[in-house]
Structure 1
Amino acid sequence: MSTAYELDRQHVFHSWSAQAEISPMVISAARGSYVWDDEDRRYLDFSSQLVFTNIGHQHPRVVAAIQEQAGRLCTVAPQFANAERSRAAELIAGLAPDGFEKVFFTNGGADANEHAIRMARLHTGRHKVLSAYRSYHGGTETAINVTGDPRRWPNDTATSGTVHFFGPFLYRSEFHSTSEEEESERALAHLRRTIEAEGPATIAAIILESIPGTAGIFAPPPGYLAGVRALCDEHGIVMVLDEVMAGFGRAGAWFALDLFGVVPDLITFAKGVNSGYVPLGGVVISDRIAATFDHRPYPGGLTYSGHPLACAAAVATIETMRDEGIVENAARLGRDVLGPGLAELAERHPCVGDVRGVGAFWALDLVTDPGSKAMLSPAQLADVVSAAKGSGLLPFANTNRIHVVPPCTMSDDEAREGLAILDEALKAGDAHVA
């Protein structure tokens, strides 16, 4: 057993874990679509770690940009201007819809959502924030309360001004819908009633993931986000779209919101903006909300806001993604390889209840009964994960699902290699189908 593992077990406190119940894999090296453990076993990374290595591991152009910036200026306080921060903000704003010129940098996605909500509250003078039950927005105080998934429960004091509603998800519809059109219409009617019942004049913001990620990767049905935009406009509510996971190529577009033709008021980002090489997140702010703070101080900040090493990595990532057509590759990979390949797996494996996704952003909903859609238990899902790892595939697993979320740079051959391993691993799930 490696020294790294032993020291980890002695001293590292892991997130979302019972500390005595885990045995974390030691990753000692990575390149492109692969990682290696401390025994030099190679794994194809179908997880992009936590869905952030969009540009792949150790991209030489991004590594070189970090090294060059470290040699010139490692750090600077946020009250000063800095060339890399300025250039990163320019590039990110340039990817947003028209009318977004300002970027507030954070250390990651959770605090991006924290600050977006703070901006919305200050802009409107209201306090409540509405969010979906099937969602994840981060682990900090406000972000975990707007999160819908059960990790919220131990942290939810019901005093944060957050209210939850059911968003659309046809496969597990809360509205007894039989079509995408019905699901969109009924989900919007439910949201309208929630707004009316809570009092429109009390609501500062509605925050949604453009495509919910951790909760199951299900794109909103046609018309839903446009309907939310209309409700926000009707009641003076700020619309926040969380692009932390779905953005920067993951969904086959620079921002997933581009797929739906909807313009929010605030856009949050992190993860893929620089593939997590150095922690970075932020809020892209519409001109209307930015103007609120032209002559009124914004009461918030972070010591490392726009850290030059992180911003240098972001500049290199965005420029490389453009030069190498990485966003386009993600879209093509989903259309030509992952989508058809996963559909074939669903035909062969009765444990696959549903396949959904876009770009390099897919989920397999695993069930023990396709008729009732009863979910695989965590222990049953662990059998699938163990089989995949044993054959050299590193999957992303959550609840009853396998998420297929490889680097956006992945080749067709690598994707097919992963699908072949997953094909064998799913036999462990089939064994639990009644």
Structure 2
Amino acid sequence: MTDRKPTADLDELTVDLDLAHVFHSWSAQGGGRTPFVLAGGLGSRVWDHSGTTYLDFSSQLVNLNIGHQHPAVVRAIVEQAGLLATVAPATANLTRGQAASRIVARAPDGFHKVFFTNGGADANENAIRLARLHTGRDKILSTYRSYHGNTGAAIVATGDWRRVPNEFARGHAHFFGPYLYRSDFWATTPEQECERALRHLERVIVSEGPSGIAAVLLETIPGTAGVLLPPPGYLPGVRALCDRYGILLILDEVMAGFGRTGSWLALDLYDVVPDLITFAKGVNSGYVPAGGVIIPDSIANDFDTTVFPGGLTYSGHPLAMAAIVAALDAMESEGIVDNAARIGRDVLAPGLAELAERHPIIGEVRGVGVFWALELVADRATREPVGAGVMAKIKAELLARGLLPFIAENRIHVVPPCVVTDAEAAEALSIYDEVLSLL
């Protein structure tokens, strides 16, 4: 913690100001809401003004891959602010060029350009724009179990409930991706789920008219929808369908990228090369908002003599770029991506499996790296999800024991920072065990 003296008065002031003046996303604004206060953090822990400390197993919105207040990233932001705090996007800036070079170094061969955005939503927005301009087609296909952001086209590409009141963008259609635990295809094995999901996608492509489809947009591993690891062969199969019909494949790495899966990009785990890659979150852990599209030469070359009709005032903002450079350098030099892989393999995988053996409420455990979900059910035989009341109790009990969780529908997402230690992971597993024992 900092040297500031703990005081509950600041917590009360924070809540009062928030309730009076802050309009929150995805929330009803009244109804006795009590905002959760955070005042500081370090590594995998956060605290409020009173000094109450929590182990952060949410990574905020699954973006804090490098942990809270990493000194190298904070120092880089401060140094850049002292040198040049902002600059127009058309200007060449050394820090921006360094950030772009580090990002493309982690991409597949042939990707040499980055279009910087302010976050993941506008990264997907501009990937959709690039796909439409490159192909001369309009329609975008994406899955129902997905989240791609809250801008015009990105929210309509999203499949979950948040799309429905926001369907103002044109040219979108949805399909079901693989999810063996709740298969839409009556599958009982990963092989069946893969084969039938690909057959379903091809039927949608044909039914929607291949000549009008610009791109298939997929989260490499759907995150908010449940950490849904694609079965072996699925992503290569989607790639083959896209090639067959002249459709681009966009992989959304906003949540899964830059260490979350124990690899630099989640696509590194699968035998697939997309046509466009979107990123945000983990690229600098959200210390300063940043995202972007990684573009291959085959698409970037379209705009050698043609104007790209898109731009953002803060594209490649120097403070965000300094944070990217420092974060990616620290992740490499400190072995942070390797740590995420090891923690997932040696601590979380066996620990969560052991929890599932002891607690019938856990229907399925799935994940990789520091990207896991516990799907909770009222009955393992029927796989009926537990209700909102149960999840609210779980959240309250976890917080009471000093663990900050990520709760979504009937799931606990186990998503600590990539810098999490063995001891912190063991501590979280013990807290999960204690709370699940109450149910």
Q: TM-score, normalised by structure 1?
A: 0.98
**Higher mean C-alpha displacement, 262-271 vs 30-39:** 30-39
The within-5 A match list for 1:371-410 is 371-410=381-420
Aligned-residue sequence identity (percent) comes to 64
The within-5 A match list for 1:169-248 is 169-248=179-258
Give the C-alpha shift of residue 40 in structure 1: 1.0
The within-5 A match list for 1:6-405 is 6-21=16-31, 22-157=33-168, 160-405=170-415
Give the C-alpha shift of residue 80 in structure 1: 0.2
Q: Residue type matched to 2:157 in 1? A: V
Secondary structure (helix, strand or coil) at the match of 1:19 reads: coil
Once residues 86 and 126 of structure 1 are traced to their aligned partners in structure 2, the CA distance between those partners, rounded to angstroms, is 31
Once residues 296 and 203 of structure 2 are traced to their aligned partners in structure 1, the CA distance between those partners, rounded to angstroms, is 27
Q: Residue type matched to 1:96 in 2? A: A
Once residues 50 and 117 of structure 1 are traced to their aligned partners in structure 2, the CA distance between those partners, rounded to angstroms, is 23
Once residues 427 and 9 of structure 1 are traced to their aligned partners in structure 2, the CA distance between those partners, rounded to angstroms, is 35
Structure 2: 5+ residue stretches without partners: 1-10
Q: Residue type matched to 2:344 in 1? A: G
Secondary structure (helix, strand or coil) at the match of 1:2 reads: helix
Q: RMSD in angstroms over aligned alpha carbons?
A: 0.8
Once residues 204 and 359 of structure 1 are traced to their aligned partners in structure 2, the CA distance between those partners, rounded to angstroms, is 32
List structure 1 segments (4+ residues) > 6 angstroms apart after TM superposition.
none
Q: In the alignment, which residue of structure 1 is the partner of 2:3?
A: none
Once residues 305 and 230 of structure 2 are traced to their aligned partners in structure 1, the CA distance between those partners, rounded to angstroms, is 38
Secondary structure (helix, strand or coil) at the match of 2:254 reads: coil
Give the C-alpha shift of residue 150 in structure 1: 1.1
Once residues 151 and 378 of structure 1 are traced to their aligned partners in structure 2, the CA distance between those partners, rounded to angstroms, is 18
Once residues 366 and 154 of structure 1 are traced to their aligned partners in structure 2, the CA distance between those partners, rounded to angstroms, is 28
Secondary structure (helix, strand or coil) at the match of 1:27 reads: coil
Q: Encode CA deviations 1:133-167: one digit per residue, 9 max, x unaligned.
A: 1100001111110001111111124x521100000
Once residues 160 and 6 of structure 1 are traced to their aligned partners in structure 2, the CA distance between those partners, rounded to angstroms, is 41
Once residues 141 and 366 of structure 1 are traced to their aligned partners in structure 2, the CA distance between those partners, rounded to angstroms, is 33
Q: Residue type matched to 2:110 in 1? A: G
Q: Residue type matched to 2:371 in 1? A: F
Once residues 172 and 52 of structure 2 are traced to their aligned partners in structure 1, the CA distance between those partners, rounded to angstroms, is 45
Once residues 150 and 98 of structure 2 are traced to their aligned partners in structure 1, the CA distance between those partners, rounded to angstroms, is 29
Q: Encode CA deviations 1:167-197: one digit per residue, 9 max, x unaligned.
A: 0010111001011011000000000000000
Q: Residue type matched to 2:293 in 1? A: V
Give the C-alpha shift of residue 421 in structure 1: 0.6
Once residues 401 and 109 of structure 1 are traced to their aligned partners in structure 2, the CA distance between those partners, rounded to angstroms, is 23
Once residues 103 and 242 of structure 2 are traced to their aligned partners in structure 1, the CA distance between those partners, rounded to angstroms, is 25
Q: Residue type matched to 2:260 in 1? A: R
Give the C-alpha shift of residue 230 in structure 1: 0.6
Give the C-alpha shift of residue 295 in structure 1: 0.9
Q: TM-score, normalised by structure 2?
A: 0.97
Q: Is the 8 A contact 1:385 1:425 kept in 2?
A: no
Q: Residue type matched to 1:49 in 2? A: Q
Give the C-alpha shift of residue 204 in structure 1: 0.3
Once residues 393 and 174 of structure 1 are traced to their aligned partners in structure 2, the CA distance between those partners, rounded to angstroms, is 34
Secondary structure (helix, strand or coil) at the match of 2:340 reads: helix
Q: Encode CA deviations 1:192-213: one digit per residue, 9 max, x unaligned.
A: 0000000000100000000000
**Higher mean C-alpha displacement, 185-194 vs 144-153:** 144-153
Secondary structure (helix, strand or coil) at the match of 2:41 reads: strand
Once residues 46 and 89 of structure 1 are traced to their aligned partners in structure 2, the CA distance between those partners, rounded to angstroms, is 29
Give the C-alpha shift of residue 52 in structure 1: 0.6
Q: Is the 8 A contact 1:385 1:395 kept in 2?
A: yes
Count of residue correspondences? 428
Secondary structure (helix, strand or coil) at the match of 2:114 reads: strand
Secondary structure (helix, strand or coil) at the match of 2:249 reads: strand
Secondary structure (helix, strand or coil) at the match of 2:105 reads: helix
Q: Residue type matched to 1:233 in 2? A: D
Once residues 65 and 402 of structure 1 are traced to their aligned partners in structure 2, the CA distance between those partners, rounded to angstroms, is 34
Q: Is the 8 A contact 1:2 1:38 kept in 2?
A: no
Structure 1: 5+ residue stretches without partners: none
